[in-house]
Amino acid sequence: MSHSRAGRCCVGMDLIRHRQAAGVPVLAGPGAAAVTAARRGGEGGIAAGGGRSARVARSRPARGAAAGEAAAVRPDLDEVFRRDYQVVVGVAARVLGDRDQAEDVAQEVFLSFSGCSVPGARARGWLCVAAAHTALNTIRSRRRRTGREEAAATAEHATEPDVADAVVRRDEHRRVRAALAQLPRTQAVALVLRHSGLSYADVAAALDLSPTSIGTTVRRAESALRKELNRHGSHV
């Protein structure tokens, strides 16, 4: 890990502990709905949206005995953070295409993890699924941007050698990510995790699905993604 990335990891860990100590609610930002739905879904796990569910271990923030006491931080947080931070950032970056936003997602996900009761042995799978959900929700929220914000983004790239090519590439990437966010959530998460380097067995364990079904799920996701892109005039 480079010194700059290691520094960002330390800053991220410090921020998580600061927000815990300040009693900041564990659930905040674009991933809150997915994790809240997980808690409402009983022991089954994360409600995946779009009428589908990705089952993972239920997580509940620890509550202090006294009113206003910050949630207790799980004792394995530092170890899991050091081990899995880059993996979680990688999953989010695969969806978002932006390292800085992916690190924001990772901080949010680890903040949720810091107060939950998911077993340490299942931590990586839980974190990767949560990162994919949160990043996909972020993509959906992006679609609400105004035309003025889009125009500003175009102007920002006006100094590139071939602004037309730059705009086309950016628009194509945006369409792919928007199409990904429209897939059934279990398919989208399975596709993201598989293309983030997780094995079929790891994806199956993370989503609590049969290992023999993951290949089919990923292929269906790829087919659905192509159909969604073709429907909007994009081709992959």
Residue 101 within any structural domain of the chain: yes
Phi, psi of 55 (to 5 degrees): -85, 120
Its domain, for residue 169, covers 3-231
Residue 51 within any structural domain of the chain: yes
- Check residue 108 and give its pLDDT: 95
**Per the structure, how many domains does the chain have?**
1
d(CA 106, CA 128): 9
Give CA torsion, residues 11, 35, 77, 202, to 10 deg: -110
In angstroms, how far is CA 36 from the centroid of its own chain? Answer: 15
- pTM exceeds 0.85 for this model: no
Q: Please compute, for residue 134, the number of CA atoms within 13 A of its CA located in the half-sphere on the CB side.
A: 31
Residue 177 within any structural domain of the chain: yes
d(CA 118, CA 49): 21
- Check residue 73 and give its pLDDT: 80
Mean pLDDT for 172-186 is 89
Residue 117 within any structural domain of the chain: yes
Residue 236 within any structural domain of the chain: no
d(CA 229, CA 66): 52
- Check residue 140 and give its pLDDT: 82
- Check residue 153 and give its pLDDT: 54
Residue 124 within any structural domain of the chain: yes
pLDDT at 95 over 50: yes
Residue 76 within any structural domain of the chain: yes
Q: What is the mean pLDDT of the chain?
A: 73
Tens of pLDDT, residues 133-162: 999 998 887 765 534 455 555 555 555 556
Q: How many residues does the chain have?
A: 236
> How open is the CA angle 127-128-131, to the nearest 5 degrees?
85
